[in-house]
Amino acid sequence: MKTRIAFPALAIAALLAAGCQPTAKSGRGFQLPPGHADRGKAAFVQLKCTECHRVDGVELPAPTAKPDQIVTLGGDVTNLRTYGQLVTAIIHPNLAISDKITTALPATGSPMKNFNREMTVEQLVDIVTFLSPTYRQLAPPPEPSS
């Protein structure tokens, strides 16, 4: 009787353990070097990110894009953006399109320029280091009482 229960339990445990193994494209073990916020702000301006973006609470050149395509980064958010999400939004903007611009999107997806051949890794980590502290997490709204 114990064998009948033990074998399925072991099989399920083995399947669960196998499902936790990183795949070839897993980010497990990936770590970027530390960045510098001041250099990140300079790179943000140099790469002309300010043409389409404002950063909450930071004085930068005014955006020149159409008003419906200007995206404010930082500020009060209910879900704090992680370091990985910010990196992904920069290097793969189609995965992190702002709700504000989805109605004005070209057929090709995000209007954000692909910087992957122009931006250095140092600029990337510096920009993410600059942007990260500009996000402030709001307390979740209280659950409705029954």
Superfamily, domain 32-137: Cytochrome c-like domain (1.10.760.10)
Instruction: Say what the pLDDT of residue 64 is.
Output: 95
Q: What is the pLDDT of residue 141?
A: 74
Q: What is the pLDDT of residue 25?
A: 73
Q: Looking at residue 133, what is its pLDDT? A: 94
pTM of the model: 0.72
Q: Please give the chain's pLDDT, 146 residues, in tens.
A: 455 555 555 556 555 555 566 677 767 788 889 999 999 999 999 999 999 999 999 999 999 999 988 999 999 988 888 888 899 889 988 775 555 444 445 555 677 888 889 999 999 999 999 999 999 988 877 787 76
Tokens of 18: 């196998």
Q: Are 135 and 86 in contact (CB under 8 A)?
A: no
Question: How many whole angstroms separate alpha carbon 128 and alpha carbon 35?
Answer: 8
At 12, give phi and psi (nearest 5°). -65, -45
Half-sphere exposure of 112 (CA within 13 A, CB side): 23
* Measured distance CA(38)–CA(60) in Å, rounded: 13
Domain ranges in the chain are 32-137
